Amino acid sequence: MSDIAIRVENLGKQYHIGALQKNGGRYTYKSLRDSIASAASAPFRAARALMGRNGAPENHQEDTIWALRDVSFDLKHGEIVGVIGRNGAGKSTLLKILSRITEPTTGHVQIRGRIGSLLEVGTGFHPELSGRDNVYLNGAILGMKHTEIARNFDAIVAFAEVEKFIDTPVKHYSSGMYLRLAFAVAAHLQTEILLVDEVLSVGDSAFQKKCLGKMGAVATQGRTVVFVSHDLGAVQALCRRAILLMNGQNVMDGIPEEVTKEYLTAQHSPQSASEGIAQLPECTSGSPLRFLVVRTLDERGAIVKYVPVGGDLTIEADILIVRNLESVHFAFVIRDDQRRKMATMSSYDSYENAGSIAAGYFTIRLFIQRINLLPGRFSIDLVAEQYGEQLAWHECTIYFDIVPSHFYASGKLPSRSTGIMCLPCSWDVVDLHHR
């Protein structure tokens, strides 16, 4: 037991959804009158719970939901484990239990060592205080001693790249500056166990790389890390072990490459795999823009799933705009079967949409000429933004396969498949003695 940092046994977390009541097909919060009436009738409900109308125990499963159920695993000191799964799989609930924010319904957790949590970046920041004051305030909230914060202060500010603005109230910071400083404080916690929940997406791409580097440095210091992320590439880069949660249960525990492959296989849509077209569910409630359908087409406009190396590909999406919008831009992201980003194509790079888009139904198309990805399976993420703010986002909307073809003028297939791209090129040999 001495080398075990975290032991989780038969862990379960059940939430009651009785705080919401159904009204015409929708769930709404109870009023004060409803709450008082509910308290007065509680003894009668308790009696009915013990004995149903027909003399049998009454089933109230519809009033509860299991966020976690029968989850068990051990983590050793110095082990770095990635936890992956869809939204609602129970990942954040697991970290909240490990960090003692909430108590489990069943099972128990044994923890040996001081825990630091990066669950909500920026928790405790006060907009009226300067960056300097917030470093000390946030550090104290996260459990750091004053001397520890002072010792790490210069490193925190340098990491966040806000030296010039450290004495400026954070209400004047951009969102990126705010998040960078908040992450820098949390990342400099000196703990034996670190819980990280999807915080490596803060800031721009350069700062995200710095965050990954910081997590990698933490990993080499012998600390135990539990890393929750949708970035499967980051999980594979940082972790030597991964746990897959589905519907609150631990369905796979092993090598990150194998676990992420199982996750992506489970995510796979049979319709999109066979037909090259997929219907999309609503992703962002209340958004004025919705993606409806996505298709992959060949150069003739026919729906296809297979695309030859060097062939033309059109990605087409139907959208619904419910009210007039200005400065809307779209991005299509191509990822490989390990969710690594291969390319991002943004309409912002092609044109400046200074006008407005009226409400209605539209189709947007992206034309890719001579796609030079090597054979393999790829997926497409869809993103819509307005003034830099995300309106809608779908991941893994549809899959397509790149298949071998005569990409080079020689008529031969590419002889080697190392790497991710097949670049058109030509070779020449020059005899230096006869120049």
Distance of CA 228 to CAs 93, 104, 240, 392, 429, Å?
11, 19, 14, 22, 51
Taking each helix axis from N to C end, the angle separating 175-187 and 146-160, rounded to the nearest 10 degrees, works out to 140
Residue 313 CA to residue 228 CA, distance in Å, equals 34
Residue 71 CA to residue 51 CA, distance in Å, equals 31
For residues 224 and 80, the answer to whether their CB atoms sit within 8 Å is yes
Q: How far apart are the first and last CA of the chain?
A: 74
The DSSP bridge pattern shows strands 249-254 and 241-246 to be antiparallel
Question: How does DSSP classify residue 432?
Answer: G
- Cβ neighbour number for residue 349 with a 10 Å cutoff: 9
The DSSP bridge pattern shows strands 325-326 and 356-357 to be antiparallel
Read off the pLDDT of residues 45-78 as tens digits, 9 standing for 90 and up. 656 655 554 444 444 445 778 999 999 999 998 8
The DSSP bridge pattern shows strands 306-308 and 389-403 to be parallel
Residue 54 CA to residue 150 CA, distance in Å, equals 67
Read off the pLDDT of residues 263-294 as tens digits, 9 standing for 90 and up. 866 665 444 444 688 888 776 567 888 899 99
For residues 166 and 156, the answer to whether their CB atoms sit within 8 Å is no
What is the predicted pLDDT for the residue at 271? Answer: 43
Residue 165 CA to residue 183 CA, distance in Å, equals 16
For residues 175 and 140, the answer to whether their CB atoms sit within 8 Å is no
Amino acid (1-letter code) at residue 212: L
Phi, psi of 217 (to 5 degrees): -65, -40
Give just the sign of the alpha carbon dihedral 172, 157, 117, 206.
positive
Torsion of CA 372, 374, 377, 382, to 10 degrees: -30
What is the predicted pLDDT for the residue at 109? Answer: 92
Question: How does DSSP classify residue 194?
Answer: E
**Residue 168: closest CA among 127, 225, 209:** 127
Q: Which domains does the chain have, with CATH numbers?
A: 68-266 (3.40.50.300), 271-403 (2.70.50.60)
At residue 231, the 3 state secondary structure works out as: coil
Mean pLDDT per 10-residue segment, the chain (435 residues) = 84 75 48 56 60 48 80 91 87 89 91 78 78 89 84 91 91 82 80 77 66 74 84 80 92 88 65 67 75 90 86 91 85 86 82 67 90 87 83 85 68 59 73 70
For residues 252 and 259, the answer to whether their CB atoms sit within 8 Å is yes
